[in-house]
Amino acid sequence: MKKIVLVDGNSIAYRAFFALPLLNNQKGEYTNAVYGFTTMLLKVLEMENPTHMLVAFDAGKETFRHQTYAAYKGTRQKTPSELSGQIPLIHDVLKAFSIPRYEAKSYEADDIIGTVARRAAKEDYKVVVVTGDKDLLQLVDQNIEVVLTKKGMSEVDRYDEAAIHERYGLTPTQIIDLKGLMGDSSDNIPGVPGVGEKTALKLLAQFEDVETVLASIDQVSGKKLKERLTENQEQARLSKKLATIFTDMPLEETLDAFTYTGYDEEQVRAVFRELSFHSLLERIGQGEAPEESSDFAPLPYEVVKKPEEKHFASPSALVVEMFAEHELQGDLIGMGVANENGRFFFPVDVALSSPLFQDFITSATVEKWLFSAKQSIVALEKRGLSLQGVTFDLQMASYLLDPSVSAEEVGDVAHRKEMKVVRSDEAVYGKGAKRHIPDEDELSEHVCRKASALYELKPLLANELAENKQDELFYELEMPLSLVLAKMECTGIKVDIAQLKAMGKDLSARIAVLEREIHAEAGVSFNINSPKQMGTILFETLALPPVKKTKTGYSTSADVLEKLRDAHPIIELILHYRQLVKLHSTYIEGLLKVVDATTHKVHTRFNQALTQTGRLSSADPNLQNIPIRLEEGRKIRKAFIASKPGWKIVAADYSQIELRVLAHICGDENMKRAFLEDMDIHTKTAMDVFGVSEQDVTSAMRRTAKAVNFGIVYGISDYGLSQNLGISRKEAKDFIDRYLVSYPKVKEYMEDVVTKARKKGYVETLLARRRYLPELNSRNFNQRSFAERTALNTPIQGTAADIIKMSMVQMDKRLQTSPLAATLLLQVHDELIFEVAKDDVASLKALVLEVMEHALPLDVPLKVDVSSGDSWYDAK
DNA sequence: CCCTACACGC
DNA sequence: GACGTACGTGTAGGGA
């Protein structure tokens, strides 16, 4: 049986555009409509398995309908440019799928579809029309079905004659009469004024079609309706005519011209790659994976047995290949170098035993370009080699150019630049249980391809940094910082294992007691760590009132439990249990797992190219979330001690750095004055928001004010604030409004920054760190609101990150040239942790204050609190 | 092996 | 008026 699928191109594109958020591909072109269109296409191909296929588009503006009725589609808004720009991309997709498209001057897509549908039906084809436009339902007959997309694009409704009758009580041809009576505002078809869908359906149920209705006006019930029908007879006839799809347009092609025999996977994959449709690439199957080396042009390289001068030209791209997730644990498995003389692979033993190679690594004057320099520095340091002369880090460059695209390996950057020369690590090494080191041929080629890509990509990204005016950020801040972080990671921080174990023992005992008590209260034994089981116990067995649901069941989160505190004694016990279990599993057991057994140190890894705001992150272990708020947890900090006898821990933290940055950026006089006079900012905010004097600020007011300040800094919404304070959203909004009245320039800044960001596409910090916010133009309220809050928040949080990073670089420099016996150990967003010889504590404190408070001069002073003690806990 | 829920910090 | 609401990392449970 022959089956033809007819797609209403414009309608589907239009629907997709409004159903999906504005996506873009790597080139910054919008692709949401293309994406939606393509997923629809794939679905249709899969479901219908057609022998013939055609996608129809509207051509030009004028159609024969305009000659009948000049105002046809007169009220329709101009197609947004974000959509019209995508139409050619949709054409590209169709071309790749080898699907014919059709457009004809002065006819609409509807007419093309109508004409082809009727002709095919006559020849006994099965016809399926795919559209978002209900008008096309009029085409349905025994051989013709219409598939209508629903709002979200993920679902469709399928109409045959029976389905139309069920939905409207009409035959397909009566759909035209329906339009004639009720009109269609989107096409500016008038219909009969005062007649909507309800009335029109009633009339048609009684009188069949428009002509019969008009001929029987006297039988119509309702005086007003009679009048309207009488007055608008001609308009009803015209409307019906306009709504009638033309099924007899001249068409030279025979149906054979629309034969569809399937698509060429390679072509489709190529266009998907072009459009960055990664999920769709996976969906159509891997086929010949794009990154298989057979796809690439051959790349000459040499496996070096005897290193020579020519292998080490300056500059060189250097790849220190490791087989590990973490730089501190894994084995080196090879070295790759690319430079003007070619590409070279060095087996590890060749490299490490060669004085020439060692000189290359340690020479500060031989320029080296790397991907994630810190990782290589740490790995080589562990083998006693001090990597010097690193002038470019490709990963860092990629991150600064656009922090939202994660580049985990050279191949990711190469791929973005359409440079198809390097395979992904996963393709070479495999993943999970199958991960392995390949034979030397494959390994050496992979490493050389990485080095080669690195060598070629460096100038491209260096250029982009310069164009963005991000050179200084890159060369003066992030590059030097990566060396400081490498040092910090290698140094590590000493942990008192005995102390941790003692705390663990105590916790285990108390957890066991709580566990028994909870089971006793519940009346049954269950796994308290399972939210699912706990939900059943609390809200079914004990029949407590459920407060909130998650998508898998009842929520048992702390804020829910807080609300149930008085309802049952078990709640208190559970909250306490959760607190202790968290401490035990994450902070005692978790930490003990990663402590070096011989040095008793933990070596966190700072990720310098990850967060969207410019902050660092810390992992294995994460030392940026060690408890502090509750005393119970804070005691964990007692286990972090200086690594040498007689040394102390010094902690220096910026006080209110984000709000100070905000005061500087927006220039609000009231806020600036608060900092210039060194007031307690939360009290000051409470005074302003509540309109009271300093002595009348209650602790509740201060708490509220603090939450509002917190909200400003983290860019939370009125809803978020209401959750934080346990108040209504209206009250929260009220607080924010009063806040903005007190600090008018903050309000101005909020509006300004969003407008500017919408225009430029990104926001930036004082040091030109960028974050792109394409969602500012989203029609999805949530996405747009989120982007707006981000636009306001990122320059604040990002600038604060810039400042503390500058402090770190400067502190490192000062410590190198000073006689102080002190080392920088950690950074926790607004805080630096050092260890220092006892006698140097005072001098270090003075130096830290001087450096941190003047790291970047603002219109308000930066304030730093410093303290010291035997442990991190005591430095408070 | 991946997802979800939860909880810790800033 | 609804919409689901900072950024990270780590642990445990639970279903494939």
Residue A38 binned pLDDT confidence (cut-offs 50, 70, 90): confident
CA distance A184 to A438: 65
Question: CB of A622 within 8 A of CB of A828?
Answer: no
Peptide bond before residue A621 is cis, with ω within 30 degrees of 0: yes
What's the mean pLDDT in A234-251?
A: 83
Q: How far is the CA of A517 from the C1' of C12 (A)?
A: 21
CA-to-CA dists, residue A380 to A329, A361, A377, angstroms: 12, 9, 5
Distance from residue A558's CA to nucleotide B6's C1', rounded to whole Å: 8
> Residue A123: what are its φ and ψ, rounded to 5°?
-90, 15
**pLDDT the model gives residue A813:** 97
Averaged pLDDT of chain A: 89
pLDDT digit string, tens, across residues A791-826? 999 999 999 999 999 999 999 999 999 999 999 999
Beta strands across the sheet bearing A640-641: A601-602, A493-495, A640-641
Residues of chain A (685-724) having a beta carbon less than 7 angstroms from strand B:
none
In angstroms, how far is B1 C1' from A435 CA?
14
In Å, what is the separation between the CA of A790 and the C1' of C4?
Answer: 15
CA of A529 to C1' of C12 (A): 7
Bases on strand C under 7 Å from any protein CB: 2-15
C-alpha closest to that of A126 among A226, A182, A53, A58: A53
CATH no. for A302-467: 3.30.420.10
The strand ranges marked E within A253-381 are 302-303, 316-323, 331-339, 342-346, 368-370
Strand boundaries in A261-313, DSSP class E: 302-303
Say how many C-beta atoms besides its own lie within 10 A of residue A636's C-beta.
21
> Tokens standing for A369?
């370009």
Question: A173-245 has which fold?
Answer: DNA polymerase; domain 1 (1.10.150)
Domain ranges of chain A: 1-170+252-285, 173-245, 302-467, 494-615+626-640, 651-656+800-869, 669-742
- The band of A94, judged by pLDDT with boundaries at 50, 70 and 90, is confident
Place of tokens 């033993």: A349
What is the distance between the alpha carbons of residues A320 and A335, in angstroms, rounded to a whole number? 5
Amino acid sitting at position A124? D
Which nt has its C1' nearest the CA of A432? Answer: B1
Residue pair A488/A825 in contact (Cβ under 8 Å)? The answer is yes
Q: By the 8 A CB rule, do A267 and A212 touch?
A: no
Identity of residue A522: A
Tell which residue, A541, A507, A512, A539, has the closest CA to residue A524.
Answer: A541
The pair phi, psi for residue A218, each rounded to 5°, is -65, -20
First-to-last C-alpha distance (Å) of chain A: 81
Q: How far is CA A835 from the centre of its chain?
A: 37
Task: Provide, in whole angstroms, the distance separating residue A169's CA from nucleotide C2's C1'.
Answer: 32
Which residues neighbour strand C (beta carbon < 7 Å)? A 527, 529-530, 532-533, 585-586, 589-590, 593, 607, 610-613, 617-622, 624-625, 714-717, 719-720, 723, 781-782, 785-786, 789-790, 793
Phi, psi at A868, each rounded to 5°: -145, 165
Distance in angstroms (rounded) separating the CA atoms of residues A315 and A455: 9
Q: Residue closest to B3, CA→C1'?
A: A552
Q: Please name the residue whose C-alpha is nearest to the C1' of nucleotide B6.
A: A557
CA–CA separation, A609 vs A808, rounded Å? Answer: 16
Task: Report the pLDDT value the prediction gives residue A255, as an integer from 0 to 100.
Answer: 83
Fold of A1-170+252-285: Rossmann fold (3.40.50)
Reported as a single tens digit per residue, the pLDDT across A292-312 is 444 678 899 999 999 999 999
Q: A651-656+800-869 has which fold?
A: Alpha-Beta Plaits (3.30.70)
Closest residue, CA to C1' of C3: A782
Tell me whether domains A302-467 and A651-656+800-869 share a fold: no
Per-residue confidence at A80, pLDDT binned at 50, 70, 90? Answer: confident
CA distance linking residue A498 with residue A504, whole number of Å: 10
pLDDT band at A21 (very low <50, low <70, confident <90, very high): low
Which nucleotide's C1' sits nearest to the alpha carbon of A711?
C6
CB atoms within 10 A of CB A861: 13
Residues A494-615+626-640, CATH architecture: Up-down Bundle (1.20)
CB A316 within 8 A of CB A458: no
Distance in Å from C15's C1' to A556's CA comes to 20
* A 570-629 residues, CB < 7 A, strand B: 575, 578-579, 582, 586, 624-629
Q: Note the CA–C1' distance, A222 to B2, in angstroms.
A: 64
What's the CA–C1' distance between A581 and C11, in Å? Answer: 10
Asked if A871 contacts A637 with a C-beta cutoff of 8 angstroms, the reply is yes
Residue A288 pLDDT > 50, yes or no? no
Kindly report the bases of strand B lying within 7 A of a protein C-beta atom.
1-2, 4-10
C-alpha A195/C-alpha A204 separation (Å) is: 12
Residue nearest to nucleotide C10 (CA to C1'): A586
Round to whole Å and give the CA distance between A410 and A778: 32
Q: pLDDT-based confidence at A260, cuts 50/70/90?
A: confident
Q: Which residue(s) pair with A554 in the sheet?
A: A549
Write the CB contacts of A446 (distance below 8 Å, at least 6 apart in sequence).
Answer: A422, A423, A428, A438
Q: Find and give the residue nearest to B1, measured CA to C1'.
A: A432
- The pLDDT of A564-588, averaged and rounded, is 94
A242 falls in which pLDDT band (50, 70, 90)?
confident
